[in-house]
């Protein structure tokens, strides 16, 4: 049976790199996006160039009804298949000091980054349990491990994902499903636009930002058969920040 991979927020950045990397293994990539169809189609072209197959699936991970409908529609269109690899990557940042953080910036980040994990994982998990096979990788952040000033909302959401990863891993390990998280530090994507790269490099022992492809390689290992005994782990990829 072909391996079906769902990557949320797959149109650009780390999500795009993961799509392309896993496509190079011959997997079928389901590229989720919410608004930028042009970028999603560009990712699809890269997926096909890498030797994989793919399709686009538009839905907002923060909208439970929309997410449920999209995933139900996909499953109905593929009755003899299921999504065996899920990469929860979709996320947004709305930085500010908590003192001045507006409610929409707190709840908006929670809706996409934390609620989105539940909205997508629950329906995708059920077929994995039935088939006794699955890989889930959650893209969290350095911010969720150590907390970063100006990111109380983002840190809280990503910290919640870390805790959820550890709990869910224990719930489904006996069904041969692994659940892990990767915690990137400063990676060169549009998520770090506006940050002072030269100053931040001084805080990184490796003295550079990471590349999306480096994160994608780690994800590829975690969803492979070689990582079957690794679950409930949060793996930092941050150039040595502690």
Residues with catalytic roles: 154
Q: Quote the CA–CA distance of 143 and 209 in Å, as a whole number.
A: 15
CA–CA separation, 179 and 18 (whole Å): 16
Return all residues near 226 (Cβ < 8 A) that are at least 6 apart.
Answer: none
Contacts of 35-43 with CB under 8 Å at 24 or more apart are 36/11, 36/12, 39/11, 39/12, 40/10, 40/11, 42/11, 43/10, 43/11, 43/12, 43/15, 43/16, 43/19
Q: What are phi and psi of 52, to 5 degrees?
A: -100, -175
Rounded to whole angstroms, the Cα distance separating 17 from 47 reads 9
């Amino acid at each position: 049976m072909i391996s079906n991979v769902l990557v949320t927020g797959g149109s650009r950045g780390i999500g795009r790199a993961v799509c392309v990397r896993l496509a190079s293994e011959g997997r079928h990539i389901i590229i989720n996006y919410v608004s930028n169809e042009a970028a999603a189609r560009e990712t699809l072209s890269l997926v096909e160039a890498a030797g994989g197959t793919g399709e686009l699936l538009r839905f907002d991970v923060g909208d439970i009804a929309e997410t449920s409908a999209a995933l139900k529609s996909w499953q109905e269109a593929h009755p003899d298949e299921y999504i065996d690899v899920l990469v929860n990557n979709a996320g947004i940042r709305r930085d500010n000091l908590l003192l001045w953080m507006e409610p929409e910036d707190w709840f908006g980040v929670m809706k996409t980054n934390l609620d989105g994990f539940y909205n997508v994982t629950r329906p995708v998990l059920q077929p994995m349990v039935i088939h006794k096979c699955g890989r889930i990788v959650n893209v969290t952040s350095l911010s969720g491990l150590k907390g970063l000033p100006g990111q109380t909302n983002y840190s809280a959401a990503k910290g919640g994902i870390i805790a959820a990863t550890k709990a869910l891993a224990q719930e489904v390990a006996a069904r041969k499903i692994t659940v892990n998280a990767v915690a990137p530090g400063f990676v060169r994507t549009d998520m770090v636009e506006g940050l002072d790269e030269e100053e931040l490099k001084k805080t990184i022992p490796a003295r550079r930002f990471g590349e999306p492809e480096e994160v994608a390689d780690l994800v590829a290992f975690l969803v492979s058969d070689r990582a079957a005994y690794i679950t409930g782990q949060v793996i930092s990829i941050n150039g040595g920040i502690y």
